[in-house]
Amino acid sequence: MRSTMTLLRREFGAYFLSPIGYVALAIFLAVTGYLFSRTLVQLTATGPLGIEYPMRQMLGLGDLTEIEGVIQFLLFWMVFLIIPPLLTMRLIAEEQSSGTLEVLLTAPLRDWQIVLSKFLACFGFYVVLWLPTLFYLPVLLDLDWKTWQVGIDPWPVAASYLGVLSAGAMFLALGLFISSLVRSQIVAALITLFLSLIFVVGGVWRADLDSGSLLGKVLSYITVPLHFERNFSRGIVDTRQIVFYLSATLLWLFLTVRSLESRRWR
């Protein structure tokens, strides 16, 4: 257990010793800050989108029939997809290219402990990225500092944070798995980004999607923006989507363990 915690601390601390972590943090905060400013405008407007569902604007789920809505959608979701490859591309690929993976595999650690330590480290930094956005909550919830009462339903905000953490875990696990297959960090990042697009691209057609067709049902189940559009941003937690994220996360982690195990027999 001590070896696992040592590896976990090493991997987590590495994000603060390399420019990648600060670049990811700067890009993420710039985009969320811009979307928050647009949310403030929406909150002062009339209508249910501005009053009941402020997280829609924060997550770039505006009207895709307008140029500004498309820009906000692309801004948030492209950054949301870019962050996991940036955080995971070095975790195992760097170890392979530098030749330290063999040393790590001979350490008194099981393969699943190595994978779990690296995953928890990158997930922990992913959580750090979202921590500054907590300062937006008093405004998003219309908090009255004198009575500590909120003027807006808090469940959409809570459900949205649950969603971004669950979906983020899935994308991070995918990136970790890809990082275990290749030696180049750039290749790992590009493959992870390409595969991640499968779970997002359906959100572009969400307004025209026929939910009754087979394609519509498949896209509704795997497309992350649709999950936020229809459920999380409205305060609804659909357990099917949570199960999907957790199942995919466990699958990618399992495959990563198997990938490391296969190297022992080479």
The conformation of residue 208, written as its DSSP 8-state character, comes to T
Q: What tokens appear for 185 in the block?
A: 């960090």
pLDDT of res. 108: 74
Q: Tell me the sheet residues that pair with 144.
A: 149
Three-class SS state of 94 = helix
CB atoms within 10 A of CB 125: 22
Domain boundaries, the chain: 2-263
Distance separating alpha carbons of residues 223 and 218, to the nearest angstrom: 8
Three-class SS state of 114 = helix
Q: What tokens appear for 22 in the block?
A: 């600060």
pLDDT of res. 250: 96
pLDDT tens, position by position, for the chain (266 residues)? Answer: 677 788 888 888 888 888 888 888 999 999 888 888 887 777 776 554 445 567 777 887 766 667 777 788 888 888 888 999 999 988 888 877 777 776 777 777 788 888 899 999 999 999 999 999 888 888 777 666 666 666 677 788 889 999 999 999 999 999 999 998 888 889 999 999 999 988 887 656 555 555 666 666 777 788 888 888 888 888 888 899 999 999 999 999 999 999 888 866 55
